[in-house]
Amino acid sequence: MSSLRILVPVKRVIDYAVKPRVNRAQTAVETANVKHSMNPFDELSIEEAVRLREKKTTPVEEIVAFSAGPAKSQDILRTAMAMGADRGIHVVVEEKDALEPLSVAKLLRKVVDENKSNLVILGKQSIDDDAGQTGGMLAGLLNWPQATQASKVTIEGENVTVVREVDGGVETLKTKLPMIITTDLRLNEPRYASLPNIMKAKKKKLDKKTLGDYGLDGDVRLKTVKVTEPPTRQAGVKVDDVDGMIGKLKELGAL
């Protein structure tokens, strides 16, 4: 096993620049008519997979992009393919039946088996549920080594060296394939898909599947009791100069 078969799971989320609004019934965040894009951490995953291919230190046999989500997740998979993934797998899941990280991890375990992947690169968290669990859960289910919050990845043969972001700095780990990596912001700078590549991506293979194809159901463990707006802060004051700022901070008991 001296070549890489990379699986890159991607998620369609509300665009990072949009301020989310809680719906009136307080059951969820409003997603209709809101701009969506690929989870920013997943762009880093695709980019890293493509760079591993370009570096040529270990041959990359295949890069498969995967998403489980509503019909529109296809767009995200096309973007991943335009950035360099070879093909895509889309498990269609309605938005109201959105999967929990544990279910996604169970699904990915099957996808890993099916595609004989030996490296899975995931984002460290999705910016909607901010759970940060899927990568670690998948590693646990497969009993593979994991390197989360990676800021540098070096692969030589089966040996992998990863620098990961930890509290207070970085640490370096050494392990072997097959393994799970989750990406941190510092890992790379994702490329923009060029128009010719976007056109080419339209011809790449995209398999549509269902949870049933993998023998899974959308088991839900966490019931959403409610979703609310965070408390708003009281409007503050503007001061004219540094003395005013110090005075006000003293008044507020912060100094």
Partner 1 sequence: MFAAARTSVLRSLRTQTQLCHTQSQTAWSRLASTLAVLEAKEGKLNIASLAAITAGTKLGGSITAFVAGSGGKTIAEEAGKAKGIEKVIYVDNAAYDKGLAENWAPLLVENIKKGGYTHVLTGHSAFGKNLMPRVAAMLDVQQISDITEIESEDVFVRPIYAGNAIMTVQSSDSTKVVTVRGTAFPAPETEGGSATVEEGTDPKAESPTEWVSEDLAKSDRPDLGSASKVVSGGRGLKSKEEFDRLMPPLADALGAAIGASRAAVDSGFADNSLQVGQTGKNVAPQLYLCAGISGAIQHLAGMKDSKVIAAINKDADAPIFQVADVGLVGDLFEKVPELTEKLKQ
Rounded to an integer, what distance in angstroms lies between the CA atom of residue 134 and that of residue 92? 18
The Cα angle at residue 153 between residues 147 and 154, in degrees rounded to 5: 120
By C-beta, is 205 or 244 nearer to partner 1? Answer: 244
**Exposed e or buried b for every residue in 154-176, given b needs 16+ CB within 10 A?**
ebeeeebebbbbeeeeeeeeebe
- Whole-angstrom distance between the N-terminal and C-terminal Cα of the chain? 61
Nearer to partner 1, 56 or 223 (CB): 223
Of residues 184-213, those binding partner 1 (CB under 8 A): 184-186
In the complex with partner 1, the residue whose CB is nearer, 40 or 209, is: 40
Please, which residue, 154 or 197, has the CB nearer to partner 1?
154
Q: What are phi and psi of 31, to 5 degrees?
A: -115, -15
Q: Which of residues 132-151 bind partner 1 (CB under 8 A)?
A: 132-141, 145-149, 151
Least distance in angstroms from the C-beta of 78 to partner 1: 25
Contact 181, 162 (CB under 8 A): yes
Select the span of 11-19, 52-60, 73-81, 89-97 touching partner 1 (CB under 8 A).
11-19
Residues 157-176 that bind partner 1 (CB under 8 A): 161, 165-176
Does 68 bind partner 1 (CB under 8 A)? Our answer is no
Measured CA to CA, the distance from residue 13 to residue 8 in angstroms comes to: 16
Closer to partner 1 by Cβ: residue 38 or 102: 102
Would the CA dihedral through 103, 100, 177, 53 be positive or negative? positive
Residues 75-114 that bind partner 1 (CB under 8 A): 100-102, 105
